[in-house]
């Protein structure tokens, strides 16, 4: 189950005792507090706490930029200006703390974003639950033949059944041995910090992850992208929904300039100018490599 009975009881107690505050609040985010949103088969994300809103971004920018922002007539316009010109510091004034339950192999991808504060469930002190990520059949893919870190076509039929059986059997056997090593009748048992090394990478872990909005948006730009691995992308997609309610002006600007926009090299921009003048530009005359040209054509559709 995504939430343990103890966690659910804690959430129920917290939601049942709202408190008044003098700090600025985001009504959109208030609706998400203490709510766990399921991800994958046993995972979830939930907002534990947050600081700031769209107004906090503008407040910080106006302190920093002073008279330079007087031409911007409203908060949304200012936020779009900041996003458009890569002024990142004002977005660091907002923070979010998430409680996340996720498979270990997803956590190892996630932790590559080294701009957050993280505290993870410790298998040195506690015993991990018998919960493993097993892909749904439609997400069980072969290795891509063109991308060394991507997926190809979905496995089907007997091969899909065989792989799913191996995943389940291996996970259960490893956990059986894990339990056997840490709790032997009449003996002390192996230390938990050693027994955990036998567990597979699809077992679930949990952590608290606190990050400012600037670095969160960088995480989402990479992990909510269609090319990201499915198992981390679904977490990013769920976080996107929360951020859209928390800082709607900032999120709309993020969608427009980061998720929906593109960065062109000087060479690519020169090609665009030449095309607008009516010139027929090819890969051979573009000054780009085959890989760059392929990506450029993809951007232009």
223 is in an annotated binding site: yes
Q: Is 169 within 8 Å of 175 (Cβ atoms)?
A: no
Distance CA 137, CA 133 (A): 12
Tell me which residue of 138, 164, 162, 134 sits closest to 151, measured CA to CA. 138
> Is 71 annotated for ligand binding?
no
Residue 173 counted as an annotated binding residue? no
Is there a binding annotation on residue 113?
yes
134-141: long-range contacts, CB 8 A cutoff, minimum separation 24: 134/41, 134/164, 134/167, 134/168, 134/171, 134/202, 135/164, 135/167, 135/231, 136/41, 137/164, 139/230, 139/231, 140/164
Is 122 marked within a binding site?
A: yes
At which residue do the structure tokens 């036998």 appear?
198
178 with 147: CB under 8 angstroms?
A: no
**Is 123 annotated for ligand binding?**
yes
151 is catalytic: no
Q: How far apart are CA 172 and CA 156, in angstroms?
A: 23
218 is annotated as contributing to ligand binding: yes
Known binding residue 273? Answer is: no
212 has binding-site annotation:
yes
* Catalytic member of 62, 84, 168, 223: 223
CA pair distance 141, 162, nearest whole angstrom: 13
The reply, when asked if residue 99 is annotated as ligand binding, is: no
Check the annotation: does 109 bind a ligand: yes
Name residue 141's beta-bridge partners.
154
Q: Which residues are catalytic?
A: 223
Binding residues for FAD: 89, 112-114, 120, 212-214, 218
Show binding-site residues for dUMP. Answer: 109-112, 120-124, 196, 223
Annotated binding-site residues read 89, 109-114, 120-124, 196, 212-214, 218, 223
């Amino acid at each position: 189950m995504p939430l343990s009975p103890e966690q659910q009881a804690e959430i129920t107690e917290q939601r049942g005792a709202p408190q008044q505050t003098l700090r600025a609040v985001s009504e959109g985010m208030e609706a998400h507090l203490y709510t766990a949103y399921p991800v994958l088969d046993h995972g979830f994300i939930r907002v534990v706490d947050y600081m700031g809103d769209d107004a906090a971004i503008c407040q910080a920018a106006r302190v920093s930029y002073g008279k330079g922002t007087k031409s911007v007539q409203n908060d949304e316009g200012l936020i779009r200006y900041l996003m458009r010109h890569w002024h990142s510091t004002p977005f660091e004034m907002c923070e979010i703390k998430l409680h996340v339950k996720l498979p270990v192999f997803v956590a190892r991808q996630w932790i590559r974003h080294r701009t957050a504060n993280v505290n993870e469930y410790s298998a040195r002190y506690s015993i991990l639950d018998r919960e493993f990520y097993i892909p749904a059949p439609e997400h069980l893919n072969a290795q891509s033949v063109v991308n060394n870190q991507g997926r190809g076509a979905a496995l089907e039929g007997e091969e899909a059944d065989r792989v799913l059986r191996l995943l389940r059997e291996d996970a259960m056997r490893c956990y059986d041995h894990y339990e056997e090593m840490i709790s032997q009748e009449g003996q002390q048992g192996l230390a938990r910090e050693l027994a955990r090394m036998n567990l597979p990478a699809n077992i679930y872990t949990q952590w608290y992850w606190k990050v400012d909005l600037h670095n969160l948006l960088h995480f989402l730009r990479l992990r909510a992208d269609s090319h990201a691995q499915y198992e981390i992308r679904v977490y990013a997609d769920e976080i996107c929904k929360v951020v859209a309610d928390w800082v709607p002006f900032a999120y709309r600007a993020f969608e427009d300039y980061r998720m929906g926009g593109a960065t062109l090299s000087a060479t690519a921009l020169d090609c665009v100018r030449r095309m607008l003048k009516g010139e027929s530009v090819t890969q051979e005359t573009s000054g780009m490599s085959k890989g760059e040209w392929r990506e450029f054509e993809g951007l232009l559709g």
